[in-house]
Structure 1
């Protein structure tokens, strides 16, 4: 989307009733910077993926070229979170014309899928743990064809030149990172006992791989060689496609995926949804992504005085929590892969004002979903979205930028492996009841909380990017970091490191030990009793454009890093 001159007036109107933010605090988390002219940046969840992206950028590759190299490496070194057997959303900024484009690589349901597929003979939802590891759990992978579409339009280097680093690491071995080592040891997640997970992470002597051990994956190296030479057909046709069908239609709770389903997969190119926050335009993917939820959350916060308070004030976190609960109520009721998502209504200024007015002086019962303009009545939803996702941001030497969130859904996806990569269990991101916008349907894409964002200034220039993994917590994680960076004017790294609080329905999950003194007690006095964080921790990565160049940040909760380099 190319932004008109009237954007300046829109941003000015959005910011005129807000308070001035607090001054920036001293940096306390990893950050990098470089001169504003001739520079590159990559921030990913693993240093080897960051380096793979930078290596492509150094030899003249585009941000999309580097994203392909990063994803290929993440599939190897961070397989618990994303991989070539999963899906992704990419939000892309073109410096040449100022356009923002969304590439939707979300997985699709096989044509044999039905709205009642997660119900047992008694008409009740089946056990979730069993569903997540069953053949029924896997949707048609989308990330590879999505990356090829983006490469066809935005790439500069040949496709077959982008996989060498990941291929070499798979052949020669790579050190197991602390986070991967933790999951490789097994745990309470359902995939820990799956045969493919056990086999992959067990040494010849019967012990499990640990942090620092060297792990090889020759099957994945072989697949990457075929992917480089054959293109996406290496996955969507031939022996790998046949192996995916065999793996998903056998064993427990077999699915219905066919070779025809795999061959028919097509990514979607879409216009972004964009909304103003603190004089910056935030651009995110449309449904079935939940980007509209992030925009609504930010719009609600604009109608409070939160930006003038800062992270040490308990009222700030109270306002954020209550705004989050309102947003999640609406998101859960309205967003899915359906034609009638009331996007305009959810962002209508009068409707947003009415939702912001629900925030009183003290937390009460969970807010109900509203009925935005153009909608009928809220729908029932029974979606449970676990985490198993990664996010990265990349800027090339021309100033083109990628913000990409990528996933296999839960930890190691379904726990079933083909050709050295794990298959997603994205079908369990659908609602388990056959009603509402996120009900299962043939060819549908499950609702996603992934919301990779590109930030633009009032002139339509790149201002930054942000995103996170975390399942349904993604909206709270990205909202928190966006508030910190744009509302409180913190360096991106410090905004990322702020405590997480996820308020949805009756639950208030938070990193209580990370708040400033007095915040937890202040929340309790306002009716919020915070509990320990649940689900997947954040993995925020982002950057801001500053007078001194790109300043990036990597989430200290994960293994990743952010690197900015000057290019000669």
Structure 2
């Protein structure tokens, strides 16, 4: 096809930049050819809660940019979806610049306090602490990054005043909002965070009973904090009274942490170059480490060496190929990906065509023992990883009338973070995204071990698709802990290879294959698929897969908006002419 020539040139230029991304000295954006003239630009927003969508659209209708709207969306999500994300957590944003055709990643991942140590999650006998104990402890909280990251993006791409972007969330917090079925379901769950005094008090009625769907929830402390955040900027969180309260909260109780006001004041987001690699006729751009974007690109490269695109969702062989490619990718991702400032991440090697071809031969015809990590070019074999990464997180997408697009994944880590609150928002438990065990049985250092100032590995992969003309072609992302890569992978294959409308692609059942576990939404697969998988050695069991949060947009036939939200959550996808 004739359009492949400009795409190849585009990829060659990007490949040179991507090579530097693993060294920590990469340029700050990936450049595409100037976008072709197109009627694409419009307002659109997708979030995991309709109130967050409305907050974002209100900003866009006032002439705000996608950066402005993202701030309003996050402020609202912190209130109405506190089990997943918030101002006390971190995020990755992938930004597509509509005028320049560039892709930039903003890394707002939390950092370990200066007093953190590689043994902080080990007991006196050198054994890992029980996860339930660690997750609600003071030492589970990393220095939050989402607010500083959003301030950086606003400084570069904002159009409206920072102070004007919090009104909807502040008003909703003061007046209260109705608890949705999804939030209510978590309030009825058996999560250790709900036993923490702060969470218990926030979600309880006057008689001590837990609130339920349909009840109104008011958060006056959060409303008051948003007024200060609007007036003072990000310093309202990173300095002064809120910073002192965060330190007090994280350094108290059993297993206290080491965070200081100096740690908070010193936090800086990182602007990184996107990692981009082709898939079919698109360029897929994802965040580099400490995100797992390179693992996702490896997954797509493995799938391109199969005939999954000739199959479909009712074919058990298609799901077998997806499962086997996922297992190979996770084996490599788990072993090698970490903060590139602390670990040697073989980014080029993991997506090297010869290495991928070698790994693809492991897919085979039947599932066997879990694959072990390979040794990609440029790799020093790291220690066997022991990271536990529970599900949580929100993803949203915002596009503005100038053609700029935000694809952002944001989290407080597991459900309700640590369960500890400051000024109406939950504190993250992101430190438990590190491997509790710093070295494996052979004494090799683990890439994702704890270190002062280090960013934990993340499965968040907010991605952007670029077409052969250098235009925005789509965005995907999800919640779900380490299953994010599988959720997004399934959705992208369904939307691109199987040509399903985005909403149908997201609604397909999930399958998460990692190590020896094959988990998914067993009852949603056709019986023929389940039987076909069993014949290929895959006995699918319930587990991960039931609570994804994929949100996605694709631009079809040049300018047709095709967006969707995960039906497993409340959501809304909307597009309006500019």
1:459-503 Cα distance to aligned partner (Å, 9 max, x none): 211001000010000000011111111111111111111110000
1:58-91 Cα distance to aligned partner (Å, 9 max, x none): 1111111100000000000000000000000000
Please name the residue that 1:275 is paired with. 277
Equivalent residue for 2:461, pick from 435, 451, 462: 451
Please name the residue that 2:35 is paired with. none
* Aligned: 1:7 with 2:7: yes
Please name the residue that 1:29 is paired with. none
In the superposition, relative to structure 1, how do residues 38 and 120 fare at CA in structure 2: closer, same or farther (>3 Å)?
Answer: closer
In the superposition, relative to structure 1, how do residues 383 and 38 fare at CA in structure 2: closer, same or farther (>3 Å)?
Answer: closer
Higher RCO, 1 or 2 (CA under 8 Å, sep at least 6)? 1
* Aligned: 1:156 with 2:164: no
- Rounded to whole Å, the distance in 2 between the matches of 1:135 and 1:537 is 27
User: What stretches of structure 1 of length at least 5 have no aligned partner?
Assistant: 13-34
Please name the residue that 2:101 is paired with. 98
- Superposed, 1:435-446 pairs within 5 Å as 435=439, 436-446=446-456
| SS in structure 2 at match of 1:479 | helix
Equivalent residue for 2:561, pick from 517, 541, 550: 550
Please name the residue that 1:496 is paired with. 506
Please name the residue that 1:292 is paired with. 294
**Quick check: 1:94–1:100 contact (8 Å CA) kept in 2?**
yes
1:252: Cα distance to partner?
A: 1.5
- Superposed, 1:291-310 pairs within 5 Å as 291-310=293-312
Equivalent residue for 1:241, pick from 224, 240, 243: 243
* Aligned: 1:531 with 2:541: yes
**Quick check: 1:387–1:411 contact (8 Å CA) kept in 2?**
yes
- Superposed, 1:458-497 pairs within 5 Å as 458-497=468-507
- Rounded to whole Å, the distance in 2 between the matches of 1:403 and 1:354 is 32
| SS in structure 1 at match of 2:296 | helix
| SS in structure 2 at match of 1:332 | helix
1:10: Cα distance to partner?
A: 7.1
- Superposed, 1:120-519 pairs within 5 Å as 120-185=123-188, 187-337=189-339, 338-435=342-439, 436-519=446-529
In the superposition, relative to structure 1, how do residues 91 and 183 fare at CA in structure 2: closer, same or farther (>3 Å)?
Answer: same
User: What stretches of structure 2 of length at least 5 have no aligned partner?
Assistant: 13-37, 440-445
| SS in structure 1 at match of 2:302 | helix
Please name the residue that 2:570 is paired with. 559
- Rounded to whole Å, the distance in 2 between the matches of 1:535 and 1:167 is 34
| SS in structure 2 at match of 1:466 | strand
1:36: Cα distance to partner?
A: 4.5
1:90-140 Cα distance to aligned partner (Å, 9 max, x none): 000001100000000000000000001111000111111000000010000
1:313: Cα distance to partner?
A: 0.3
1:225: Cα distance to partner?
A: 0.2
1:514-545 Cα distance to aligned partner (Å, 9 max, x none): 12340000000000000003377110001001
Please name the residue that 2:91 is paired with. 88
**Quick check: 1:8–1:459 contact (8 Å CA) kept in 2?**
no
TM-score normalised over the length of structure 1: 0.93
**Quick check: 2:483–2:544 contact (8 Å CA) kept in 1?**
no
- Rounded to whole Å, the distance in 2 between the matches of 1:279 and 1:423 is 41
Q: 258-267 vs 373-382, which deviates more? A: 373-382
Q: 161-170 vs 372-381, which deviates more? A: 372-381
| SS in structure 1 at match of 2:320 | helix
1:11: Cα distance to partner?
A: 7.2
**Quick check: 2:88–2:144 contact (8 Å CA) kept in 1?**
yes
Please name the residue that 2:66 is paired with. 63
- Rounded to whole Å, the distance in 2 between the matches of 1:295 and 1:404 is 18
In the superposition, relative to structure 1, how do residues 437 and 37 fare at CA in structure 2: closer, same or farther (>3 Å)?
Answer: closer
1:159: Cα distance to partner?
A: 0.4
Please name the residue that 2:21 is paired with. none
Equivalent residue for 1:112, pick from 110, 115, 134: 115
User: Which 4+ stretches in 1 moved above 3 angstroms?
Assistant: 8-12, 35-38
| SS in structure 1 at match of 2:355 | helix
1:549: Cα distance to partner?
A: 2.6
In the superposition, relative to structure 1, how do residues 167 and 536 fare at CA in structure 2: closer, same or farther (>3 Å)?
Answer: farther
1:212: Cα distance to partner?
A: 1.1
- Rounded to whole Å, the distance in 1 between the matches of 2:382 and 2:150 is 35
- Rounded to whole Å, the distance in 2 between the matches of 1:306 and 1:394 is 30
In the superposition, relative to structure 1, how do residues 451 and 37 fare at CA in structure 2: closer, same or farther (>3 Å)?
Answer: closer
Q: 484-493 vs 67-76, which deviates more? A: 484-493
